[in-house]
Amino acid sequence: MLTLVVLVGANPAIAASDSSNRPSASTTVDLEIGFRGYFKPGNWVPLRFRPDAQWMQRRDVTFFAEIPDPDGYPVRYRLDVVSETGEVVGVVRLGRVGSPVRIVVANETETILWSHLFRPSESTAKQRFLPGVPNSQELIVVLADGDIGVDEAVQAVSFADDVEPVVVSLMSWSELPESPAAYEAVGTLVVAPGPNENLLPDPKRDARRLAALEEWLENGGTLV
């Protein structure tokens, strides 16, 4: 289920400070928006964040992502805790190219205990969050063990710059979303099974991913 709360009456601009209400202990910064940082504004996309262990160990906190809508008003999305991986995940929608994302940790009274503002940039070891792919360009997601020639095939076709497809390469089924809505920005998913076991879905571990993929295909998604 997609859970979002529009912050009515909130300031249209999310505050520009990089962090606030920081606890004394350090907090690990590890964020991924979309597929390896690639997403389309206005489309539902997956979000993953790896909080510091101190927050994952607590049962009295809730994680949110606050993101401006197309009019600049912040929308709050509740994130789900995945204890097995030490992550919080969700499906969110970025309203504008270049929109920031604020991750918030709040207690039971919704008092903010910690927050951090992420801005799109070049991907780093700690952040995969790029400015956004224009809706005129197809997003092709490739799950394969190495290069299988999709990039070369795209480059062999004479596309105008504003419509040339963007190819994103994944290396594991664990990188695919567990919600069919998170595929909204994807034009084509290419899966090339290989000897790497990460490229083969586990019926138990990946049950939700397989169900999400099946629903996406039933709704018109393209799998190659």
- Nearest to residue 30, comparing CAs of 5, 7, 13, 55? 55
Q: What is the pTM of this model?
A: 0.82
Distances (CA, A) of 69 to 73, 76, 130: 5, 10, 17
- What are 185's two structure tokens? 């920005």
Under 8 Å between Cβ of 165 and 138: yes
- DSSP-derived pairing of the beta strands 61-68 and 74-82: antiparallel
> Amino acid identity of 47?
L
Residue 169 CB coordination number (10 Å): 18
- DSSP-derived pairing of the beta strands 186-192 and 87-93: unpaired
Tens place of pLDDT per residue across the chain (224 aa):
333 333 333 333 333 333 443 333 334 448 999 999 999 999 999 999 999 999 999 999 999 999 999 888 999 999 999 988 899 999 999 988 888 999 999 999 989 999 999 999 877 878 999 989 999 999 999 999 888 999 999 999 988 888 999 999 998 898 999 999 999 999 999 998 776 777 788 888 899 999 999 999 999 999 99
Under 8 Å between Cβ of 132 and 41: yes
> Which class for 143: exposed (0-12), middle (13-18), buried (19 or more C-beta within 10 A)?
buried
DSSP H helices, the chain, are 53-56, 150-155, 207-218
- What are 172's two structure tokens? 């594991």
Q: Which residues contact 49 (CB under 8 A, 6 or more apart)?
A: 30, 31, 32, 63, 65, 79, 87, 88, 89, 103
- Nearest to residue 47, comparing CAs of 59, 63, 27? 63
